[in-house]
Structure 1
Amino acid sequence: MTQPTLQHIVCTSGDHAFRMAWWQWGDPNASHVVLCVHGLTRQGRDFDVLARALLADAEQRGLPPMRIICPDVPGRGRSEWLREPALYQVPTYVGAMLQLLAYLHQQAPIGRLDWVGTSMGGLIAMGIHAVMGTESWPLPSPIHKLVLNDVGPVITWESIQRIGSYVMDTGHFADEAEALAALQQRFVNFGPHTPEQWAELNRPMLRPHHEGGLQLHYDPTLGLGFRHVPREAFVQGEAILWKLYEAMRTPTLLLRGADSDLLTAPAARAMTEHGPKPHLVEFAGVGHAPTLVQDDQVEAVRHFLLDADA
């Protein structure tokens, strides 16, 4: 399968209902599910290269079939924008992922669930861990393996300020070339990519603008939460994340861009000594966050998820 299929589910948060899209790769009946969840302003097609690599490797080695599920988190990509911007927060996303997992399990029972979370997708995974083992958890077993991509319980204040400076600007571009150039400037921390890699990674980020041309494929109001964040609230949030992380025991791989301003080197080292005590892999010349497009990044995830001794 060289392209995924687009699916939708209606989720609820309180009395608010919304359609959430996800991209499905592989065997729709496979019991091994790999859930890949993207970063703040990105979308599920970020994982195209990784999905193709995992499926090809599994087929070549005769491993059990897989379903690879890449949701567009609400407000992004093909998912519906939320009527209440205050709902753009991790608890809403955790609830949506639990509903998606329940739906997938109903369609074809899930015997093994792995999770790949980039930035915000990793924070959602940490929230998910808080409900594993409770009656809210829809699966018969916990997450089998977890990949945290350039994220953890310590997030620098400086990176939050940097992200907040652009997140509400979805742009207005004359054409694809102008849009891709603007994204290259915005996401320079992603590290070097060939023009072909950059185009494939970012074309799904674009949607028509109502005045003609293109804009980015997410709701700009999801950035309202970055305005005037009190430093005290930020510190309190970090304490909550550490508590969640300390309770985690899932075998974990921690990826870090060596130049990341969101997950610092000292914070990553501290993570290896607490909670699930993950194996740490760093990528030179990359900031926040590794795109899982480059061969060495894909290989790190492939080895961890599919090799029995990883």
Structure 2
Amino acid sequence: MTSDLKIPATDVTLAADHWGDPADPPVVLLHGGGQTRHSWRQTGRELAASGWYTLSVDLRGHGDSGWSPDGVYGMDRLAGDVRALTEFLGRPPVLIGASMGGNACLAALGRQPDLALGLVLVDVSPFFQPSGTDRIRAFMASRPDGFADLDEVADAVAAYLPHRPRPKNLDGLRKNLRERNGRFFWHWDPALMQPPTEHAVQRDPMIDSARLGAAASALRVPTLLVRGGSSDVLSVGDAQRFLELVPHAEFCDVAGAHHMVAGDDNAVFDRLIGGFLERRIRSRLSAWTDHRRP
């Protein structure tokens, strides 16, 4: 793995890790709100080992990527960043997005349907459970004054994710934090949590079901929706509504996994993604290549 990619977008620079041979078909991994590119580390390695050139990117306002200079975040900005990533690659990738990252991918494809080879949405759709998204926002907005030490951080994470064991090696938490004046703060821009009404020029909220629903209806690329079986964000009914809009899409429910599916059951998640890519994308690329041969 290397992590020296700095990818220019319209008004920020995006940080990325990458694995594999750049000549292989590209896959772009986009995390959810409050996460970083590091959440895809295992998946990135697995895909690269299977012959995919894989980029895991920090969304704007997260990790080592730039923060919006005017403090404005929304689907137009995120979708523009997805387009910038495809321009950087110089060819359509497979887009894999979790939660906020999935919305960014879907919004980008709504504007440019041929932007990607395929789409994987992880526990996200135009339809969702507000109680689940409210819980995420509450966590992200908590502790604006930061933490005194890594033990406090670990306690906060354990309370937010009670189904996971409390981390034993607290040093691993540092990649999700920034340190200032002896205190630890979450790695995301606090402006992400401001209500849209506080942004003088904000016109598009982070989630726009009508816009995302229209984008879903227009999808023509191979599509996979992955739901965490214990998710409080995407219900079975929400998934069914998405599949009615996108009848060609495949659907997988990962039993026992919560909203952050890959982190809850990475082995099962990687098998699902790998199978979809080989079955729906690799075969499509092979047929396209055969068709172009003289």
Alignment TM-score, normalising by the size of structure 2: 0.82
Which of 2, 8, 11 does residue 10 from structure 1 map onto? 8
Instruction: State whether structure 2 residue 189 is matched by structure 1 residue 219.
Output: yes
In 2 relative to 1, CA 76–156 (structure 1 residues): closer, same or farther, beyond 3 Å? same
Secondary structure at 1:249's aligned position in 2? coil
- Determine the C-alpha separation between the residues in 1 that align with 2:193 and 2:156: 19
| Distance in 1 (alpha carbons) for counterparts of 2:258 and 2:171 | 19
C-alpha displacement at 1:227, in angstroms?
A: 7.6
Q: Bigger shift: 218-227 or 252-261?
A: 218-227
8 Å contact 2:228–2:253 — kept in the other structure?
Answer: yes
Contact 2:132–2:233 (Cα < 8 Å) also in 1 = yes
How far apart are 1:148 and its partner, in Å? 0.5
C-alpha change, 1:104 and 1:161, in structure 2 (3 Å) is: same
Structure 2: distance between partners of 1:26 and 1:199: 27
* Equivalenced residues, count: 275
Matches within 5 A, 1:57-72: 58=50, 65-72=51-58
1:152 matched to which residue of 2?
Answer: 125
Paired position in structure 1 for 2:96? 116
2:140 corresponds to which letter in structure 1? V
Match of 2:32 in 1: 39
Match of 2:272 in 1: 300
Tell me if structure 2 keeps the 8 A contact 1:250–1:276. no
Q: CA deviation at 1:281?
A: 1.2
User: Does 2:48 match 1:55?
Assistant: yes
Deviation at 1:199, TM superposition (A): 7.2
Check the 8 A contact 1:246/1:276 in 2, yes or no.
no
2-structure distance, mates of 1:181, 1:253: 34
Match of 1:92 among 66, 77, 93: 77
Deviations 1:155-197 (A, max 9, x none): 2222232233232235522333432332232234xx5368479
Distance 1:250 1:158, change over 3 A: same
Tell me what 1:240 maps to: 211
Aligned-residue offset at 1:152: 0.3
- Tell me the equivalent position of 2:155: 181
TM-score w.r.t. the length of structure 1 is 0.79
Unaligned stretches of 5+ in structure 2?
A: 199-203, 285-294
SS for the counterpart of 2:141 is coil
Amino acid at match of 1:47: W
| Displacement of 1:124 | 0.8
1:76-112: per-residue Cα shift (whole Å, max 9, x none)?
0001222322x2111101112212221221xxxx3x5
Shift of 1:32: 1.0
Give, in angstroms, the shift of residue 30 of structure 1.
Answer: 1.8
Equivalent in the alignment of 1:138: none
- Separation in structure 2 between the aligned mates of residue 142 and residue 7 of structure 1, nearest angstrom: 21
Q: For residues 142 and 240 of structure 1, do their structure 2 counterparts lie closer, same or farther at Cα, with a shift above 3 Å needed?
A: closer
Whether contact under 8 Å (1:170, 1:218) holds in the other structure is: no
Identity %: 26
Give 1:226 deviation, angstroms.
6.6
Does 2:285 align with 1:291?
Answer: no
RMSD of equivalent CA atoms:
2.9
Instruction: Decide whether aligned partners of structure 1 residues 301 and 192 sit closer, same or farther in structure 2, where only a CA change above 3 A counts.
Output: farther
Partners of 1:92 and 1:277 in 2: CA distance: 28
Supply the distance in 2 between the matched residues of 1:41 and 1:295 (Cα, whole angstroms). Answer: 22
Report the residue type matching 1:282 in the other structure.
Answer: D
Q: 1:261 aligns with which of 232, 237, 240?
A: 232
Instruction: State how far apart, in whole Å, the 2-side matches of 1:247 and 1:197 are.
Output: 45
SS in 2 for 1:167: helix
Q: Which residue of 1 aligns with 2:140?
A: 167
Q: CA deviation at 1:154?
A: 0.4
Q: After the TM superposition, which of the residue ranges 284-293 and 237-246 deviates more from structure 2?
A: 284-293
Over 3 Å counting, the alpha-carbon distance change for 1:34 and 1:20 in structure 2 is: same
Question: Residues 164 and 226 of structure 1 are in contact (CA less than 8 Å); yes or no, is this contact kept in structure 2?
Answer: no
Query: Any conservation in 2 of the 1:168–1:223 contact (CA below 8 Å)?
Result: yes
Shift of 1:6: 2.8
